[in-house]
Structure 1
Amino acid sequence: MSKEILENSVESTQPNFEKATLWFDSMTVYIDILEKVQKDMADEILDRLEKELEDDTENIAVSIFLVLVVIIICPLTLRAIWSLTTVLQNYALTLAAQTKELNKEKKRSTYLLNAMLPPSVALRLMNTEGVNGELYESASVMFADIAGFSRLCGLSAPMEVVEMLNGLYLLFDSRIELYDVYKVETVNETYMLASGVPERYDRHVCEIATATLDLRHHVNILEVPHKPHMKIRVRFGIHMGSLVAGVVGLKMPRYCLFGDTVNTASRMQTTGLPGQIHVSHKTYMGLLEWGGYSFVKRGKIDIRGKGTMYTYWLTGRDDFDILGLDVSARDHMGIQEHRYAHMYDQMYKGRVQFAGKNLSESPTNL
């Protein structure tokens, strides 16, 4: 119909009013529908815009709230983290200090344990291993004590006795470090050594004999600190044989030796003479087998609990002038690097006095 209208001339003499009316009505309806559609679309767009605006407003509000929360919480969080870090750092420093102190105490405990027990036995105890009594078929034991100690104690003050024993034992402890011997214990004036325990050693009798010769040589040049010109006289006794060794006690564990060998060595010491090394016949035979030692026969003597025994005096060793260096030569034999070096300094400053004699005297001239 639109095409027909366009083709008609304005000067048309025969207009079609029916079609014109139909066209007009149709266009009116079309315009009304179009207007309604436009209005509905406008309302829909406005509704959507309003909803989106509300959503955006809500999102913005939430975002602003979160930003405010972050602004408020962030400093608190940072402060809490800083405080926690400070606490952790202080704890780490405290833990490091306590660990250092613990290691120091552990070393101290290990040192004390090694002073009470042989290192190999102490290591087994620290590793929670059992330490049972062990039989040693052949070992050597030496006892030494100060002759006339009871009389000397009666003439001395208690502190003077302690100072004297301390100086004497410092000397003994430093000298036995040169030999394969183990200091078992010291009870009052009695000093006990063993060789061949806890580590078995074939030449145990030689080691303990040479160590005893060394001790005798050096103790013969000592004086009682508080009694000038009174020499310290020590009796030595040695015996070799079988014995049992083990750790005894819980609170104060001690490495103890048991058996007839220990008793006989003690009897050798108590029946000996000041300045002499008293050895049993079995020890004499053992040293003869290795050779190089000199003896003087004492003969038969009655030993309490043992009856009559043949015993000997150990007088020297062929090469002892090389092995038994004097205390005065300590700088030439590396003693300044020894763990008892500070004790030597104390000893040389007067804790233990030396008799007025030539310290370079050969130990073979005993």
Structure 2
Amino acid sequence: MSREKRLSVSSKAKMATARARNIYEDDDAGKMVFLPEIDNPSKQTSFSRGICCNAPPLTDSDKKIQLIKMLCLTVLPVLGVWSYSVYMLSDTISLKSENEATRKALVYSVELGKLVHHLQKERDMSVLYLSALRPETKTFLLAEYIATDKAITRLPVWPGNLDKLDRTEFSTRANLVQHLNRRRQSLTPSEVYIQDEIDFYTRIIKVVIVWLYDSINESKFAVVWKTLVAYQKLTSAKEDVGVERALGTMFYANGGFENHFYYQMYYSRVHNFRAYYKTAQLYSDRVRLLYSYVVSEAGNNLTDIIDSFRSEILHNVKDGNNTFPEMQKARWWFDNMTMYLDTLLDVQQDLGEEILAILDTVIEKVQTDLAVSATLLVVVILMCPFVIYMTEYVTSVFHKYALTLIDKTKELAREKARTDSLLYQMIPKPIADQVKHSKNIKPEYFKVVTVMASDVCGFYKMSLECSALQIVDLLNTLYEAIDKLSETYNMYKLETLNDCYMAVSGLPDRNKYHVTEVANFALQLIDLISKRQFIVNEDRIVQVRIGVNTGPCVAGIVNTVMPRYCVVGETVNNAARMMFYSTANRINISHGTYTALEKTGNYILKKRNKLGKNSMYWLIKKIGNGTNENKDSVISSISSESESDKSEPTPDQSNSAEDSQQEDIPFPFRARLPMPNYNEEDDVHLSGSKQDMFGDTQQKPEEAVAPTLTYKKPKNENLADQNDLAKDAQYNNVKIALNLV
């Protein structure tokens, strides 16, 4: 596995803050803004321009685009409603026009029915005048002539073009009136035959009935079509009854028909009347009801009387019996048939009024619908500007809220990024992600890890000689450089307190390169401190001492208010002890670390004197990739340097003896009194018992004897100061400190 792959896990955790910064650096560059989600920082939410209204209007152009989209969503339905309203309005107007046209056609058909009735009555009176029942003068005919002329005049429209034969007498009203007047003037019993008179008026009535049929057929109204058919059939039946009245009057006045042709005509008229009347009853029950009512008003035996007259006429003609003229029966027949015709006229007019009433109701409803449609159309037209205004207003408000939301979201994302960065500094990223998701995190046992502890030599004296701001600036500069260096290694910084810096490799993500990671980091740290001089108070150069230990430990989250990822175990304490017995810019490692590094063959290691039963080693240098190149020469050069250091101590060494009195107590016991310096050539001597600094004896706690540390008095030190430093209280503090570790 390459070194880059081994560093991937730690790089992800250490680059979390950088990724959070990149999110905002791209904000002003493009059209897309990436913001980390609140629940899952690994995911990101993007706002992009889409084809729908799913993008916030961040700019004026976006606002215009959003306005157009919202107008399409709001105005298009309004335009659809407007189109539907226009369609309904036009359809209602068309329906109203059709109903009014139908009503006019029905009114026209009623007037035509009245004209037919007056023509029938004038025909029957003319036949009566030509028969033996005629009065002396034609005075009684004048009233019928006037009524017929008025009926022609009352027609709203003259349908002269409906005559199929295109006869001139039917082209205009005046022509028809003139045609009738000429016939009326020539009406004399000696010159006109009854049959000619019947045929004259029958031809005119047939044309008027054709007009009536055409006017009814032109009406397009399904609600009253059955009643219209009944009205039509009743009109035809009434015409047949009129002809029957004239022929019957002629039969009784003359004592029979002149020939068989009149009999056939009479018989066909009776048959047609019955067929038309029965058809009218089938299409409208009201015909039967009205007929029964009107006949009962006229007399219950009216139909019986007419039926008896019909039977008498048919019986006499069929048997060929010659009868004598019977003027009284002729009058009775004429009067009864006139009453019967008036009854049919009443039924016909009642049907016409019923149809007109239905049409008036429908027209009234159509007018109501027309008013509603017009009102709806006006409302829709008035709503369009209002909808456009409200859409623009809502878009503007949405634009403001979107900008505010974006700003607040960015601010929230920044704060979350800062919070995550702080949390990742307190807790490893995998553990922090579990904490954010409120998962129950249990302590975890690690079989083998490597812990590194380092501190600043002479920090206690520095803190006394320098100001607090200088100390803080020094620590910030130093730890910033160390943190930047650690970013390239798979290590986790446990904590920093005062001048103590402690890091570990092998947790929370287990790896088999933890020993070499820590060793390489420690060597580069010494190289960094040596090449880059960290100076405080303008004359003091900062030096560090490092201790490394390898072994098992237990790690877990401690505390819920301010959670910390704590590593517990003797491995951590031994790392602090290794640091305690190290010297300036040197790396002191334990036997476990030594064994692991020795297997790689990449490092120069030097054994030190034992501390009790525990061995300590100097980590000198890394040499190549697994070769023993110049290893002996490096060791010999280091040994010669050590001998020269023994014989000729430098001023720095003298100063270090003084400074080391303040720095030899390991973290977290730096608040204790200073300890004497420990040099490689002045190994620690144990007195009083075999108890050592690591507690290797099996002596019971109550019988344990505190270790006594002896040290070589520096040459340039004041004896009084040295005596003060050698007080028993100092050693008791060291005892307490080591026992706590």
Distance 1:274 1:37 in 2: 134
**SS across alignment from 1:198:** coil
The aligned residue for residue 458 of structure 2 is 148
Distance 1:17 1:48 in 2: 46
Whether the 8 Å contact between 2:448 and 2:551 is mirrored in structure 1 is yes
**SS across alignment from 1:299:** coil
Asked if 1:202 is matched to 2:512, the reply is yes
Alpha carbons of structure 1 residues 211 and 60: separation in structure 2 relative to 1, 3 Å: closer
Asked if 1:122 is matched to 2:432, the reply is yes
The aligned residue for residue 318 of structure 1 is 623
Distance 1:284 1:28 in 2: 145
The aligned residue for residue 290 of structure 1 is 600
> How much has 1:190 moved relative to structure 2?
0.7
Q: Structure 2 length as normaliser, TM-score?
A: 0.38
Q: Structure 1 length as normaliser, TM-score?
A: 0.73
Distance 2:588 2:373 in 1: 101
Instruction: Report the AA paired with residue 211 of structure 1.
Output: F
The aligned residue for residue 218 of structure 1 is 528
Distance 1:282 1:47 in 2: 116
1:270 to 580, 584, 588: 580
> How much has 1:97 moved relative to structure 2?
4.2
Distance 2:580 2:622 in 1: 23
Distance 1:296 1:58 in 2: 112
Asked if 1:58 is matched to 2:383, the reply is no
Unaligned runs of 5+ in 2: 1-246, 260-323, 626-741
Distance 2:461 2:454 in 1: 17
Instruction: Report the AA paired with residue 209 of structure 1.
Output: A
Distance 1:238 1:54 in 2: 105
Distance 1:153 1:296 in 2: 33
Distance 2:437 2:342 in 1: 105
Alpha carbons of structure 1 residues 129 and 18: separation in structure 2 relative to 1, 3 Å: same
> How much has 1:289 moved relative to structure 2?
2.8
From the CA coordinates, give the structure whose radius of gyration is larger.
2
> How much has 1:277 moved relative to structure 2?
1.2
**SS across alignment from 2:608:** strand
Alpha carbons of structure 1 residues 45 and 144: separation in structure 2 relative to 1, 3 Å: closer
**SS across alignment from 1:289:** helix
Alpha carbons of structure 1 residues 299 and 72: separation in structure 2 relative to 1, 3 Å: same
The aligned residue for residue 177 of structure 1 is 487
Alpha carbons of structure 1 residues 36 and 257: separation in structure 2 relative to 1, 3 Å: closer
The aligned residue for residue 255 of structure 1 is 565
The aligned residue for residue 188 of structure 1 is 498
User: Hey, which of these two has a bigger chunk of helix by percent?
Assistant: 2
Distance 1:32 1:286 in 2: 135
> How much has 1:153 moved relative to structure 2?
2.3
Whether the 8 Å contact between 2:453 and 2:548 is mirrored in structure 1 is yes
Whether the 8 Å contact between 2:558 and 2:566 is mirrored in structure 1 is yes
Distance 2:361 2:414 in 1: 75
The aligned residue for residue 113 of structure 1 is 423
**SS across alignment from 2:335:** helix
Identical aligned residues as a percent? 36
1:32 to 324, 328, 342: 342
The aligned residue for residue 324 of structure 1 is none
Unaligned runs of 5+ in 1: 302-306, 321-366
Whether the 8 Å contact between 1:180 and 1:207 is mirrored in structure 2 is yes
Deviations 1:289-326 (A, max 9, x none): 3323223333134xxxxx56432222112239xxxxxx
The aligned residue for residue 135 of structure 1 is 445
Whether the 8 Å contact between 1:220 and 1:231 is mirrored in structure 2 is no
Instruction: Report the AA paired with residue 314 of structure 1.
Output: L
User: Hey, which of these two has a bigger chunk of strand by percent?
Assistant: 1
> How much has 1:286 moved relative to structure 2?
2.9
Deviations 1:231-266 (A, max 9, x none): 211111111222111122223322221111111111
> How much has 1:102 moved relative to structure 2?
3.5
Instruction: Report the AA paired with residue 315 of structure 1.
Output: I
Whether the 8 Å contact between 2:478 and 2:534 is mirrored in structure 1 is no
> How much has 1:151 moved relative to structure 2?
1.5
Whether the 8 Å contact between 2:455 and 2:546 is mirrored in structure 1 is yes
Higher relative contact order (CA 8 A, sep 6+): 1
User: How large is the Cα RMSD of the aligned pairs?
Assistant: 3.1
Alpha carbons of structure 1 residues 26 and 169: separation in structure 2 relative to 1, 3 Å: same
> How much has 1:155 moved relative to structure 2?
2.7
Whether the 8 Å contact between 2:536 and 2:542 is mirrored in structure 1 is no
Distance 2:547 2:598 in 1: 17
Alpha carbons of structure 1 residues 182 and 28: separation in structure 2 relative to 1, 3 Å: closer
The aligned residue for residue 345 of structure 1 is none
Whether the 8 Å contact between 1:222 and 1:231 is mirrored in structure 2 is no
Distance 2:417 2:347 in 1: 98
Alpha carbons of structure 1 residues 279 and 147: separation in structure 2 relative to 1, 3 Å: same
Deviations 1:267-303 (A, max 9, x none): 11122211211222333233223323223333134xx
Alpha carbons of structure 1 residues 136 and 33: separation in structure 2 relative to 1, 3 Å: closer
Distance 2:549 2:376 in 1: 92
Deviations 1:65-117 (A, max 9, x none): 44454455555555555545554555455444444443333333322222222
Alpha carbons of structure 1 residues 80 and 16: separation in structure 2 relative to 1, 3 Å: same
**SS across alignment from 1:121:** helix
The aligned residue for residue 546 of structure 2 is 236
Asked if 1:102 is matched to 2:423, the reply is no
**SS across alignment from 1:300:** coil
The aligned residue for residue 555 of structure 2 is 245
Deviations 1:201-236 (A, max 9, x none): 233222212211111111012334444453211111
Instruction: Report the AA paired with residue 257 of structure 1.
Output: V
Alpha carbons of structure 1 residues 128 and 26: separation in structure 2 relative to 1, 3 Å: same
Instruction: Report the AA paired with residue 284 of structure 1.
Output: Y
Distance 1:224 1:52 in 2: 105
Instruction: Report the AA paired with residue 317 of structure 1.
Output: K
1:56-95 alignment runs, 5 A limit: 56-71=366-381, 75-76=385-386, 79-80=389-390, 82-84=392-394, 86-88=396-398, 90-95=400-405
**SS across alignment from 1:114:** helix
Instruction: Report the AA paired with residue 541 of structure 2.
Output: K
Alpha carbons of structure 1 residues 152 and 27: separation in structure 2 relative to 1, 3 Å: same
Aligned length in residues: 311
